[in-house]
Structure 1
Amino acid sequence: MRKFKLWILVSLIVVMSASGILVKKELAYADDPAPVTVYKDGDFTGTAQSFEVGFHDVNVLRSGVGNDTISSVRVAPGYRVTLYKDAKYSGDSYVLTRDAEWLDYFNDVTSSLKVEIIGAPALPVIAYADSPYGGVEQQFDVGEHNWDVINAGVGNDKISSMRVRPGYKVTLYKDHSFSGASKVLTEDAIYLFDFNDSVSSLKVEKISPVDAKSIAVPGNAYSDVSKRELLEAFAPRIWFAQGEVYFPSSVEYTFPYVDRYLNPTSGKYEHKTKTPLDPYNLKLPYFSGDLANAPIYSFWVEKEYQNIDLVYFQFSPYDLGKTVLGTEVGDHVGDWERVTVRLAKFEDNNTHYVKPVQVLYGSHSFSTVYPWDEVDKIDGTHLVAYSAFGSHGMWKDPGSHVYKDLVVVQLIDVTNQGTAWDTWNNIQAFQYFPNQRTGVGLGNPFPDWLSRDFENEASGAVYRFGNPRQGSFFGQPLLADGPTGPQDKGSLLNDVLLD
């Protein structure tokens, strides 16, 4: 029996807590009952330690594989493990829902971890010690929860972010026994601002989930047609800056000008220009793009806690870097930038609804998240985004945005209202499945270049959409590596976070 690695139901545990009933269904290999096993070396070798569902801090790791020593991980189907760089489930994190024979940039840095069941039932309100939605967590059902209950879980005066399911209201109090200053939440809060680390009691109540922001799902069913309609309904208006010359295009527009080749360094198929680039004269005519025919690549991604992320990727043939001491650095062939609308889905009186909750603006290697009510919109649902001059980083507002301080200069993105692009007029729509690492088209084909079969010559998959790094100026590349595509981004691969 053990040779076949059959899946069996090993337990059904009902746990009573002060917050309600939590049902945990655990599945595991017949010959390896632990949902997650970590290894000190790559390829699942070296000292190993197994973990059940729950939180495992640095002291637990030290008793087994060791702190800052994990290099590979096995994850049983149906489970998720979140690795944290710091103790107490804090710092940078790395989420896995499948085996990883090598942890790349997360190698030898794990100090704590959390194991969860994918799709496990959650109570209406979840409080987290860190923002966004990290660290120690505690779930709450309808009712009153005083400081002693909170202190036994996430901790008194320790809450920094919260999830609130549609149809529920949580009232936070700064003092025990439901007194002192209060704050009401009816949707997720990525950060509690004036109530950060100051909640001592709370009440959870059931309310009507339908409000002015609620939108009935077309046809009252999550069909391919209704998903595409919702992607169109929330697609952004993107303002390009005055004087912009490097506009978006389709990926296919670049095909006559690039070769798909096996990069010996990465071992994966990538794109590079057919015309070699002089590092001091990097511009080719096709870099100007094809805005008139450019699609917005739009992804429907269903995530945990009844969330749906609508992820909108803009592709441009070229990204203009910044000028440092009179020299242009950081340009790269190919550019992917994104904005994301997070929807909460729910049902009321046999009608399916979605409600916009948050918006993410991606800029370079970081992103900023805002509540839906704080962003500008066209016709009530089309969010407004500003694409920075040359570099295309996405911002909520026009202006000058300092995003990095170097020793000799500040790196600044400039945004304003130059050319408007109403992306809903030309979307390429897809549904992406994070745990399967693939997707399907919604009214259009799923292109080969979106595959993750990067090492297969026949697949058409593209790992990087531009030339490798070239030239240097005070340690900064004149031409940076081309970017990886949407299929390699956390926004599609992470099944929980708004990434």
Structure 2
Amino acid sequence: MIIGGVLYFLLLCVNVVINSQLVDITEGIDRLVKQWSPLIWLSPDEKYMPLGVEEFLSHVHVADENGKNIRLSNSRLPSGYNSKLFYLVTKETLDSLKSDNTSHSVPVYAIVTHCSSYKSFHTSDKNNLKSDINAIYNKRENNFYFYVSYWTFFPYNEGKEICFLGRVPAPKIFSRCFGRLKTMGNHVGDWEHMSLSFAGNAFPDKLFLAVHDAGVYYQYDEKRRYFKFESKVIRKGVVQVPKFPQIVRSQGGHPVLFSAYGSHGLWASPGEHDFIRVPKLTDKNG
């Protein structure tokens, strides 16, 4: 009975220590996530401000392609492949929703994924595994290996006006369309995001900025306290020619970003940014 009691006491102590370490790790990550959250400047003429998803859902209903209301049997939104058959339609006109000038805070959704600095956990080599397990047991594992994605939600994306000659997209001449203008890419519900990766330090090592169908990586310069251009991600070949700013500056530790008018693409600097060659599509920020 005494031995059993001692064993129970030892197990209890180990459990308390482990739980305490997990609390410290969680609190540390939570602190870094808040400390490095982005500071986003909206366009001065922006009509559709960021919104919480819960509030957004209170203003829409599910409909078919003809706009007919659909009653959901389990009160849950459709998901997966079948959700392509459904649409979210506003209960009121967009103009009436825009007339609501109520000022209130909106959430930024942060999703954290924990990582490990030890690559050999992806191998079956028992010697490498033993070495890494011993390192963690002896507290040599740095726990701030994680990445976080910050998501902001906008209720509506205005898309872009494109000039057409017949059915073919055509460039504007001296800012004038000699065919017809057609709005494309507009849709209800619009997510934008930025990600940071932490590699064992109290500051991030990389920043990823998603810009429409493209993206860009920046490397953090600890001495200069800004993020410097590293590489870009292009998914549409030669027609996609975004020229990304070379630096993402920070303010009080927060990366400073600029949201494009109407489409909300996030860029590292204000101004006009071309991101598609044909038809020419431009984001206007700041």
TM-score by length of 1: 0.34
Q: Deviations over 1:30-75 (max 9, x none)?
A: xxxxxxxxxxxxxxxxxxxxxxxxxxxxxxxxxxxxxxxxxxxxxx
Report SS of the residue matched to 1:316: strand
Which residue does 2:81 correspond to in 1? 266
Distance of aligned partners of 1:238 and 1:263 in 2 relative to their CA distance in 1, 3 Å threshold? same
Mapped to 2, the partners of 1:304 and 1:287 lie a distance apart of 46
Which residue does 1:294 correspond to in 2? 106
Mapped to 1, the partners of 2:107 and 2:265 lie a distance apart of 18
Mapped to 2, the partners of 1:291 and 1:368 lie a distance apart of 33
Unmatched 5+ residue regions in structure 2?
Answer: 1-20, 63-71, 119-144, 164-180, 222-227, 229-247
**Structure 2 residue 24 is the aligned partner of structure 1 residue 221:** yes
Mapped to 2, the partners of 1:264 and 1:315 lie a distance apart of 18
C-alpha displacement of 1:271: 5.7
Matches within 5 A, 1:333-348: 333-345=188-200
Mapped to 2, the partners of 1:312 and 1:368 lie a distance apart of 15
- Residue pair 1:249, 1:291 contacting (<8 A) in 2 also: no
- Residue pair 2:198, 2:204 contacting (<8 A) in 1 also: yes
Q: Deviations over 1:95-128 (max 9, x none)?
A: xxxxxxxxxxxxxxxxxxxxxxxxxxxxxxxxxx
Mapped to 2, the partners of 1:294 and 1:267 lie a distance apart of 30
**Structure 2 residue 283 is the aligned partner of structure 1 residue 283:** no
Q: Deviations over 1:372-399 (max 9, x none)?
A: 23320011x2111111111011111112
Matches within 5 A, 1:45-60: none
Structure having the higher helix fraction is 2
Unmatched 5+ residue regions in structure 1?
Answer: 1-217, 277-281, 346-352, 417-499
- Residue pair 2:61, 2:91 contacting (<8 A) in 1 also: no
TM-score by length of 2: 0.57
One-letter identity of the residue aligned with 1:377: S
Which residue does 1:400 correspond to in 2? 272
Q: 2:257 aligns with which of 365, 372, 385?
A: 385
Q: 1:410 aligns with which of 258, 280, 285?
A: 280
Report SS of the residue matched to 1:371: strand
- Residue pair 2:32, 2:202 contacting (<8 A) in 1 also: no
Identity %: 26
- Residue pair 1:361, 1:369 contacting (<8 A) in 2 also: yes
Q: CA RMSD in A?
A: 3.0
Structure having the higher strand fraction is 1
C-alpha displacement of 1:220: 9.0
Q: Deviations over 1:422-469 (max 9, x none)?
A: xxxxxxxxxxxxxxxxxxxxxxxxxxxxxxxxxxxxxxxxxxxxxxxx
**Structure 2 residue 52 is the aligned partner of structure 1 residue 250:** yes
Which residue does 1:66 correspond to in 2? none
Q: Report 1 or 2 for greater relative contact order, CA contacts < 8 Å, sequence distance ≥ 6.
A: 2
Q: Deviations over 1:68-97 (max 9, x none)?
A: xxxxxxxxxxxxxxxxxxxxxxxxxxxxxx
Q: Deviations over 1:276-302 (max 9, x none)?
A: 9xxxxx835336887632111112212
